[in-house]
Amino acid sequence: MKCTVCRGPAVIDLRRHNANFCAEHFLKLCRDQVTKAIGEHDMFEPGQRVLVAVSGGKDSLALWDILLELGYEVEGMTIGLGIGEYSDASTAASVAFAEERGLALRRIDLRDEYGYDIPTAAAVTRRVPCSSCGMSKRHLIDKAALDGGFDVVATGHNLDDEAAVLLGNVLHWQTEYLGRQAPVLPGGDGFPRKVKPLVRLSERETAAYCVIRGIDYIVDECPMAEGNRHLRYKEALNGIEAASPGTKHAFYFEFLDKAADRFRPEAAVAREDLHPCPSCGSPTVTEVCAFCRLVERVSDAEPVPVELLRAGRGRARHRAARRAAATADPGDNTNDEKVHP
Amino acid sequence: MRVLLRNPRRELDVAGPVTVAKLLNRLDLNRESVLVVRGDTLVPGDAVLADDDEVEIRPVISGGSV
């Protein structure tokens, strides 16, 4: 198999591009796609300060690397989620990436600074772990960006992420969510501007980028994400993509071109009800924001090891939840994080 | 050849020579969802894997909160 550009030996075949690439030209393709996404969606300009949300996975490290290669002023931020060995390895990958390149990396640890971790939050709230995890990350990244005076937050959402979210929103006709699904989430009303420069790259491509660049990312999946709906949507889309290359790209970008604007009014209405949380000042549509309610509810709970939650599909999980909940403050189960995913 | 799979981590012995595409078909794996890595190098779909090769089939799907 030869590189479509230079006829040298190819290392990867991309059926959706009907092309094969050697290492050099594949890296160029990735940088060109990110450049195109940044330009087409007016994400940010040279000289602006960019905060990259870093997990230690392939997407965020590839994003950080590409933005640096393109000459942008970028700083990283990572959050210790307390998900056992997985979180330790994730943080270690992020720290190693930054130290090897002499880069600034801001670090926050949920347990040290807010008195909880994700397994404990999941046990106390009895909700899927991704709920409190996503909400906590969004809150802390937003806060760090605003406090640090960054112009924009860049996240590693790739084409597969966006297509899977779109599929989920369409399957359940979540029109408000459809109205704010975009590569750029505007700032204002207490939110930082957020952008997704990897939307033109699939996750197979971001993984390949890391392998070729020698970036040591965490390959193992989050133990708490196992079997979640988002992963099932991705697998379904990949099944279609295998039979019809280019489907994921068409699904997402044709939505942006032809349908997204139809749902914008609903998203705008949801934002009208925002007011500052009396506790932390973050925008919320409920009396106190979801993050402050979560901290209030779980910070005194007995820590729940991730292994117990994973094994505990049955009795062990319920015992852990009961034990954790017994030591925590009562609270509600509402989640107002529907405004700015 | 020795084949390392992830999530969960396990190893298989598969007879070579065989192309990457055929290996993935044999294991019922979607090419869109994995990369094949030999040493620290990516291997494309038409590459032939030898009987004494050691390869990793690396999943690329990640999920969780977004």
- Domain coordinates of chain B in residue numbers? 2-59
Closest Cα of chain A to B22: distance in Å?
15
pTM of the model: 0.91
CB pair distance less than 8 Å for A157 and B66: yes
**Residues of A numbered 216-275 whose beta carbons fall under 8 angstroms of chain B's beta carbons: which are they?**
219-222, 224-225, 228, 230-231, 234-235, 238-239, 241-242
- In a domain, residue A312? The reply is yes
CB pair distance less than 8 Å for A235 and B63: no
- Count contacts between A and B (CB, < 8 Å): 102
pLDDT at A341: 33
* A311 pLDDT more than 80: no
- In a domain, residue A337? The reply is no
**Residues of A numbered 75-114 whose beta carbons fall under 8 angstroms of chain B's beta carbons: which are they?**
none
Say which range, A4-18, A56-70, A261-275, A311-325, has the weakest mean pLDDT. A311-325
pLDDT 10s digits, A97-142: 999 999 999 999 999 999 999 999 999 998 888 889 999 999 999 9
CB contacts of B9 in chain A (<8 Å) are 220
Q: Exposed, middle or buried, A233 (CB in 10 Å: 0-12/13-18/19+)? A: buried
User: How many Å separate Cα A179 from the centre of its chain?
Assistant: 18
- The beta-carbon neighbor of B44 closest among A1, A57, A207 is A1
CB pair distance less than 8 Å for B64 and A228: yes
* A325 pLDDT more than 90: no
What DSSP element (H or E) covers B22?
helix B20-26
Is CATH 3.40.50.300 the classification given to domain B2-59? no
Rounded to the nearest integer, the mean pLDDT of chain A is 90
pLDDT 10s digits, A234-257: 999 999 999 999 999 999 999 999
pLDDT at A321: 58
pLDDT at A234: 94
* B48 pLDDT more than 90: yes
- The beta-carbon neighbor of A11 closest among B9, B42, B58 is B42
CB contacts of A10 in chain B (<8 Å) are 44
- In a domain, residue A180? The reply is yes
User: How many Å separate Cα A221 from the centre of its chain?
Assistant: 14
Domain assignment of residue A275, given as a range: 12-219+227-326
Confidence of residue A266 (pLDDT cuts 50, 70, 90): confident
Confidence of residue A52 (pLDDT cuts 50, 70, 90): very high
Confidence of residue A163 (pLDDT cuts 50, 70, 90): very high
Which one of A17, A30, A160, A248 makes the best mutation probe of the B interface by having the most chain B beta carbons within 10 Å? Answer: A160
Segment A295-309 mean pLDDT: 86
- In a domain, residue A45? The reply is yes
**A167 close to A246: Cβ distance less than 8 angstroms:** no
Segment A159-182 mean pLDDT: 95
CB contacts of B21 in chain A (<8 Å) are none
CB atoms within 10 A of CB A83: 26
CB atoms within 10 A of CB B61: 21
CATH of the domain at A297: 3.40.50.620
CB contacts of A57 in chain B (<8 Å) are 62
SS3 B33: helix
**A78 close to A54: Cβ distance less than 8 angstroms:** yes
pLDDT 10s digits, A21-48: 999 999 999 999 999 999 999 999 999 9
CB pair distance less than 8 Å for A234 and B59: no
CB pair distance less than 8 Å for A235 and B45: no
> Which residue in B has a C-alpha nearest to residue A134's C-alpha?
B65
- In a domain, residue A6? The reply is no
> Which residue in A has a C-alpha nearest to residue B47's C-alpha?
A1
Q: Is A20 on the interface with B (CB under 8 A)?
A: yes
Which two structure tokens, joined as six digits, stand for A11? 């290392």
pLDDT at A305: 84
CB contacts of A222 in chain B (<8 Å) are 62-64
Q: What is the dihedral of CA A68, A70, A74, A80, to 10 degrees?
A: -50
CB pair distance less than 8 Å for B61 and A203: yes
pLDDT at A211: 97
Reduce the secondary structure of chain A to three states and give it as a string: CECCCCCCECCEEEHHHCEEECHHHHHHHHHHHHHHHHHHCCCCCCCCEEEEECCCCHHHHHHHHHHHHCCCEEEEEEEECCCHHHHHHHHHHHHHHHHHHCCCEEEEEHHHHHCCCHHHHHHHHCCCHHHHHHHHHHHHHHHHHHHCCCCEEECCCCHHHHHHHHHHHHHCCCHHHHHCCCCEECCECCECCEECCCCCCCHHHHHHHHHHHCCCCCCCCCCCCCCCHHHHHHHHHHHHHHHCCCHHHHHHHHHHHHCHHHHHHHHHHHHHCCEECCCCCCEECCCCCHHHHHHHHHCCCCCCCHHHHHHCCCHHHHHHHHHHHHCCCCCCCCCCCCCCC
pLDDT at B65: 44
Segment A250-272 mean pLDDT: 91
Q: How many domains does chain A have?
A: 1
pLDDT at A307: 79
- In a domain, residue A4? The reply is no
Confidence of residue A340 (pLDDT cuts 50, 70, 90): very low
pLDDT 10s digits, A199-231: 999 999 999 999 999 999 999 888 888 778 888
What ipTM goes with this model? 0.94
Closest Cα of chain A to B26: distance in Å?
16
pLDDT 10s digits, A182-207: 999 999 989 999 999 999 999 999 99
Which two structure tokens, joined as six digits, stand for A23? 């290492």
CB pair distance less than 8 Å for B64 and A137: no
Segment B45-63 mean pLDDT: 93
Cα atoms in the Cβ-side hemisphere of radius 13 Å centred on A53: 27
- In a domain, residue A117? The reply is yes
